[in-house]
Structures are given as structure tokens and as C-alpha cells.
Amino acid sequence: MSADVARAPAPSIAGVGTAVSPESYSQQDVLDTFGIADPRIRSVFLNSAIQRRHLSLPPMADDGTPSSETQADLLDKHKRLALDMGVRALRACLDDVGATLADIRYLCCVTSTGFLTPGLTALLIRELGIDRHCARADVVGMGCNAGLNGLNTASSWAAVNPGELAVLVCAEACSAAYTLDATMRTAVVNSLFGDGAAALAVVGGGSPSAADASDHPRVLKFASCLIPEAIDAMRYDWDGAQNRFSFFLDPQVPYVVGAHAELATDRLLAGTGLCRNDIRHWLVHSGGKKVIDAVMVNLGLSRYDVRHTTGVLRDFGNLSSGSFLFSYERLLREKVTASGDYGVFMTMGPGSTIETALIQW
């Protein structure tokens, strides 16, 4: 590790909390609910390496089939779920830190599965009675990797406000962003994403709380990688044929992301004196089975290295921006981290982009 990075003042991750929507379904449950018989679509669902996901499915119509939801219905669902899950994840995070709502000085909220103006920060501040003077930022339109963009923002604020508590909240109501039709395009999306929220507490040096405990990693460095030639490969935009927003995932996404994972990681570790073998903990976004496999192969990681990533995919599906924090929470529960260990957060999303962060316990 270079002396410059080692001595640089760096904020610490003080606590984490997660929440999901109330109902969960197996892949077979979803196929049965929507009466999906197409063998190609059934294969996509049943070979996704996902066992269950938390979803808010549309209400059943009089004929026993799921009712159609308008774009207005979906935006209402997004607002309701994002606020509910965001509140519960934030409270769980504060409990983990041993802090209260009154301690929050900076709030950064991330969501890409719906449109909110005013943003989720304003809604959470009103809902919870957080100090109206709390500094805040909303990160929108950056998809599954927006959690690391938000962490960069929260860490930067914490670094210049030592001892003050910054909180990142990622809240994604993915079931408010579904389009239901018989196409393979929507089948891939509908088979993958689930609802979830995660919150992370970040504190600069000199915290009076538990943030300076030795088991709380410091955030050392961020690095981004944009893949311009694949800028339209992952997108969530207006679908005129469906008269609503819809996801699109190009089948080549796993291979494009995998091919650039090494470049992104090398950029992150450049100048630190570290190599990939020095990284003990990998917290990779649970983007899907093929994405995880592609990242593993290109970085030379083992199944054990990505056990949290595959576990989160199995139990929750792709949770978008907060996915990597669910993996981080699982790592902490194992109690296997040691002082001096290095870890890498890695996410990927629209752009196409790969975001990374280097942390050290």
C-alpha cells in the first residue's frame, strides 16, 4: 500500500441495515401467478440461480388473473415501497451504529426504479422528523451501480465533516418497474429483479460513536469505468409501445461487463501498491448468474470469493443499487474480517459502467 493512500484521512463505514418488501415468491410462484407457459420464458425463470424474491405483485382481478397496472399505479407503488423500505433500512442502520435520527447530518438517497420529485431524501426527512437543515443529495438515473456513486458522495461529505454522521439509503421497488407481456425482453427483466433497500452509515475521523472501532473499514478510494460502446445495453426508458417505462438488458451485458472488470479493478488498485491477490473480501453486485460468472472468470475469483454475491442473488434476486450492501451485511455476520484486511466493492449498471471502491479494516 502506498504511503500516500495509507496516511490519507478516510471516513469509516460505521453500520449497515437492510429491508425488503413484505411478500416473497419463488420463481415457480411467479410463473403460476401469471400463467406463463412459454417454455423459453419458463427456462429463463427456472435457470436464474434465484430461489425467492420479494415483490409487490399487482392485485388480482375478478377473473383470478393479475390486474393491469397503469404507469401512474406503478409510480404510486414505487413511492410507497421505496419510502417504507427506506425507513426500515435506515432505522436498522442507526440501530447498528447506536445512533438516533437526531445524529444524521447528511442524507444521500439512491433510487432508479421510479421518479420522485421531491426526492426520497425530502420524503424521508418529513416522514421521520429528521432535522430540516440536514444536508442531502438524491442520486437518480444511475441504476444498479448507483449505490457506489452514493457512497462516494456520502464519504466525500464525511471526510470534510469529521465526527458527523452521513447516511446512504438505496431503495429500489423493482416490482414497480415491470412491464408484463409475452416478450423475451421483459421476461429477462421480470425473472431477475426484486424489491429491497439498504442503508449505510459513514463517519469521518473523530467520531464520538462506535464508528472508530477497529472492525469498521475505512473507505480509501473509488474508481469508475464507463463503456461508451455499450451505453444503450442497459437502460430504463420510455417504451412507447407499452405506454410506460421499461427495462432493457442486452444479452451481451454479462460479457461486456466481464471483459471490463479487470480494467476497472486495475484502475482502482493503481498507485496503491496492491494487487488482486491482496484483496481478501469481494463484495460484487448480484447482477445475475451470467454477470457473476463473467466477473469471476475475468478477475480469477473463486466461488468462495463471491459467496455473498451468489447468496444474495439466490435469496433476493437482483436488488439493484443496494445489492452490494446486502452482501456486505452478510460478510459482517460471518465475523471473518481482520484488522488490515482489504476489500473491494464492485457494481455495474447503465452506461454501461462499472463502479468500484477500495476499503480496509
Catalytic center residues = 144
Q: What is the C-alpha end-to-end distance of the chain, expressed in Å? A: 13
Residue in 292, 3, 17, 33 with CA at minimum distance from that of residue 144: 292
Contact 136/107 with Cβ under 8 angstroms?
yes
Contacts of 263 by beta carbon, 8 Å cutoff, 6+ apart: 225
> Strand 196-203 relative to strand 342-349: parallel, antiparallel, unpaired?
unpaired
Instruction: With beta carbons less than 8 A apart as the criterion, state whether 257 and 289 touch.
Output: no
Task: Look at residues 30, 51, 65, 10 and name the one whose alpha carbon lies nearest to residue 211.
Answer: 10
CA 341 – CA 332 distance, rounded (Å): 13
- 3-class SS of residue 165: strand
> Which grid cell is 204?
469521518
- Residue with cell string 413484505: 22
With contact defined as beta carbons under 8 Å apart, do 317 and 190 qualify?
no
